[in-house]
A and B are shown apart, each in its own frame.
Chain A
Amino acid sequence: MKLDVQTWPVAYAAEAKPRKGFFTDTSLCIGCKACEVACKEWNHVPAEQHGFSGKSYDNSLALGADRWRHVAFIEQRIPAGIDEGTTLVEAAARAEAIRAGAPVTARDGMRWLMASDVCKHCTHAACLEVCPTGALFRTEFGTVVVQEDVCNGCGYCIPACPFGVIERREDDGRAFKCTLCYDRLKVDHTPACAQACPTESIQFGDLEAMRERADHRVAQLRERGEDTAQLYLSDPDDGIGGGGSIFLLLDEPEVYGLPPDPVDPVRSVGETWRASLVAAAGLAVAIAGAAWGGRR
């Protein structure tokens, strides 16, 4: 049994627009957080009180109800002399020593990874699929948006999201996340974060074009020797049917706090219901056994 919810472009017929999306090229991110600020300003996302997290330059730490863009900062030690002709074996041994607790010296380099995260606007979006009120819906642009006048704060979308994006705003009671600036898209504007990004790390456009650009860029970086450069969520055959936001990462996804092989949990809803039916049938048998299986 396969339960597939096809709402875009089918449901929109002639009103369907080309699917829009982000391509976030983290190799260009300078960690300025202009996207976080622009998003908050445009979407009236409430301010938060952050302390000092001690985790690099990141005090906001994760996407959530009040953070629809989030810039991650990862500080990585690069073994000594890697740019000065040290052999790979020596460099690896040095990296191993640092990992084991050897003090870092001035000769050891540092790599600073920065990446702006956002809602993935999944092709198979668990949040939308589990939403019992229909507050979460797919727009004519193929994006996933919460209708705040419909959401009743049931909270089901929150553990359903394999990326931990959507969250309930506690003093409000409803769930919030990135809308991919639905209001701006309606009037042919670029989303606030992409508009504010000074380095074009956040690019916006037709998803097809974004995929092509991403393919081109990752090939370019690999040619330059960035062996760990990789695309994330650009494959339409992955566990979420591909993202409406795709990313170019310079390390493995989990380093950025992203799941390495995300799967839409609702993909197995047929099996889930089957198991539920089997259990219910077992209960019926147990009840019948209890009722007719004894003297009194």
Chain B
Amino acid sequence: MSDTPGAAAAPAGAPGTSYHGQPILKAPVWTWEIPTYFFFGGMAGSSLGLAYATHVRGDALAARRAWLTALAGLSISPALLIADLGRPSRFLNMLRMFKVTSPMSVGTWAVSATAAATGLAALDAVGLSPPGAISRTAVSRAAVLGRPAAALGGLSLASYTAALLVNTAVPVWHEARWTLPVVFVSSAALSAGGACAAATPAAHAGPARRLALIGSVAELVATEVMHRRLGMHAETYRSGPAARWGKLSRAGIVAGAALLLRGDGRNRAAAVGAGALLCAGALATRLSVVAAGRQSAADPRYVVEPQRARLAARR
């Protein structure tokens, strides 16, 4: 950087020109809770789609396991989101308004509504009714609407978190506005497939296994495409924590998918191992993307150079 006295007189606009090498942007303050939530929210969201599809297909057992997997993911999510707030006691302020310009606002409402619908679908699937005056038939009737609502909500949970990151000034996120959502839904699909395949008896786990495999291939391809299209910004994925998490992510996904294929749907232990590997891979993807954001914000080059090029092109 232009830290040395001699370089201070570099021609204005030369690459690397900056104020004593100081970052221009403030790095995101989110700690591990947020990428971990991205993982659980995506896993749960995609499981909801799978639950609904298997329900429609008529496999009550596979659907039940998927609803419960989703419910587990959705139960962890609020705790992670609240823990990351600077003022956790004020988490309800999130529901003061609904703003389409803020994916975080849209997402908070989506998580809340989806969790309610999922609770209903899961209650019906296990054949319970909540304590009190509500009967099982009432639950069943409500679940007729609750199931598709949960599935739609699930699709939004799997994708909105990418919009949340894209909607910032962090170059490596903002410039990936078409590819990051694909990476995120793929990551959601493979983790949901992996988790549901592990939670479901082999004879009923065909859809989950296939979803895990489709998601794995899509994730590896989408990540590669994202890196290529990011140009200079892709450097952040090749260094530091972002690169290390990225490597772990690829290893987990490839190993998990291979194990799932080899288990061929008869070996439950292999499915559990594969599910764990896939979920670890999906979590590592989210950690890698958030780490890349931090690295991208820390280097003024990623802000100045593309903006300079944009100005030059306009002239």
Contacts and interface: CB of A to CB of B under 8 A. Distances in A.
A3 B100 contact: yes
B49 A132 contact: no
B101 A95 contact: no
Contacts of A130: 101-104, 167-168
Interface stretch (B67-75, B273-281, B301-309): B301-309
A174 B8 contact: no
Contacts of A182: none
B22 A77 contact: no
Contact of A272 (B50, B155, B166): B166
Q: Which one of A101, A228, A268, A282 has the highest number of Cβ atoms from chain B below 10 Å of its Cβ?
A: A282
B211 interface: yes
B304 A129 contact: no
B133 interface: no
B247 interface: no
Interface residues of A, number: 94
Contacts, number: 282
Interface string A115-143: 00000000000100111111100000000
Contacts of B174: 265
Contacts of B103: 130, 272-273, 276
Contacts of A262: 169, 307
A166 to B, nearest CB: 7
B298 to A, nearest CB: 10
A64 B26 contact: yes
Interface string A57-71: 010011010000000
Q: Which one of A61, A280, A289 has the highest number of Cβ atoms from chain B below 10 Å of its Cβ?
A: A280
Contact-residue bracket for chain B:
35 or more
B189 to A, nearest CB: 6
B108 to A, nearest CB: 6
A272 B49 contact: no
A290 B185 contact: no
Contacts of A241: none
Contacts of B167: 130, 160, 265-266, 269, 272
Contact of A283 (B87, B185, B265, B293): B185
Contacts of A5: 101
Interface in B293-315: 293, 297, 300, 303-304, 307-308, 310-311
A255 B12 contact: yes
Given A132-B108, A262-B307, A166 B85 contact: no
Q: Which one of B94, B174, B303 has the highest number of Cβ atoms from chain A below 10 Å of its Cβ?
A: B303
Interface stretch (B27-35, B118-126, B253-261): B27-35
A266 B169 CA distance: 9
Interface in B23-52: 23-30, 46, 49-50
A177 B273 CA distance: 48
A114 interface: no
B214 interface: yes
Interface in A249-296: 251-252, 254-263, 265-266, 268-269, 271-273, 275-284, 286-296
B18 interface: yes
Contacts of B9: 76-79, 95, 98-99
Nearest to A287: B49
A282 B182 contact: yes
A287 B188 CA distance: 11
Contacts of B104: 130, 132, 154, 156
Given A55-B20, A174-B87, A279 B182 contact: yes
A275 B49 CA distance: 19
Contact of B218 (A167, A173, A252, A286): A286
Contact of B18 (A155, A254, A289): A254
Interface stretch (A14-22, A23-31, A44-52, A145-153): A145-153
B225 interface: no
B158 interface: yes
Contacts of A166: 26
A156 B18 CA distance: 25
A255 B6 CA distance: 14
Contacts of B100: 3, 269, 273
Given A275-B177, A290-B208, A293-B210, A164 B54 contact: no
B270 interface: no
B94 A290 contact: no
27 contacts: A131-B102, A132-B104, A133-B93, A152-B85, A155-B28, A159-B293, A161-B169, A228-B12, A254-B304, A257-B19, A258-B24, A261-B308, A265-B169, A269-B101, A273-B103, A276-B103, A276-B159, A276-B181, A280-B185, A283-B155, A286-B214, A287-B211, A289-B214, A290-B50, A290-B193, A290-B211, A290-B214
Interface of B: 5-10, 12-13, 17-20, 22-30, 46, 49-50, 53-54, 56-57, 84-88, 90-91, 93-94, 96-97, 99-105, 108, 155-156, 158-160, 162-164, 166-170, 173-174, 177-178, 181-182, 184-185, 188-189, 193, 203-204, 206-208, 210-211, 214-215, 218, 265, 293, 297, 300, 303-304, 307-308, 310-311
Closest 3 CB pairs of A and B: A153-B86, A173-B86, A257-B19
Interface of A: 3, 5, 53, 55-56, 58, 61-62, 64, 72, 74-79, 95, 98-102, 104, 126, 129-135, 150-156, 158-168, 172-175, 228, 251-252, 254-263, 265-266, 268-269, 271-273, 275-284, 286-296
